[in-house]
Amino acid sequence: MFEKNSDDGYRQVVDGIRQKTLVHGDKTLMVEFRLQKGALLPLHSHPHEQTGYLIKGHIRLTIGSDIHDVEPGDSWCIPGNAKHSAEIMVDSIAVEVFSPVREEYLS
């Protein structure tokens, strides 16, 4: 699968957080998140392993009881079923890969 860059296809997840599935295969799915300053991703969990990379901005990522100040170039891996949340400190862009594929993220 190949996908050209486009500003189309983003959907609102929660206030101030938009996502777009970039590409997926049989076992992984890659998503871009555009995050607005002040947005909160509430505490949640899912069975998917989630590996991410911050392209720009600053977020405060909580994984379990650990809090991380994430800056551009930082990366993370959240195990499946781990509780996590995020506070968006400044406008940010992150890319994350999920395994297995999150069916609800397919168009």
- Tell whether the model's pLDDT for residue 46 goes beyond 80: yes
**Domain span including residue 38:** 11-95
In a domain, 69, yes or no: yes
Q: What is the pTM of this model?
A: 0.94
Residue 20 domain-assigned (yes or no)? yes
Rounded CA gap, 23 and 68, in Å?
Answer: 27
- Answer whether residue 1 is part of any domain: no
Number of structural domains (the chain) is 1
β strands within 2-83, DSSP E? 11-14, 17-24, 29-35, 40-44, 49-63, 66-70, 75-78
What percentage of the chain reaches a pLDDT higher than 70?
100
Does residue 3 belong to any structural domain of this protein?
Answer: no
Instruction: Confirm whether 53 is domain-assigned.
Output: yes
pLDDT at residue 29, as a whole number: 97
35 found inside a domain: yes
Tens digit of each residue's pLDDT (9 = 90 or more) over 48-89:
999 999 999 999 999 999 999 999 999 999 999 999 999 999
What pLDDT is stored for residue 1 in this prediction?
A: 83
CATH number at residue 64: 2.60.120.10
Residue 100 is assigned to a structural domain of this protein = no
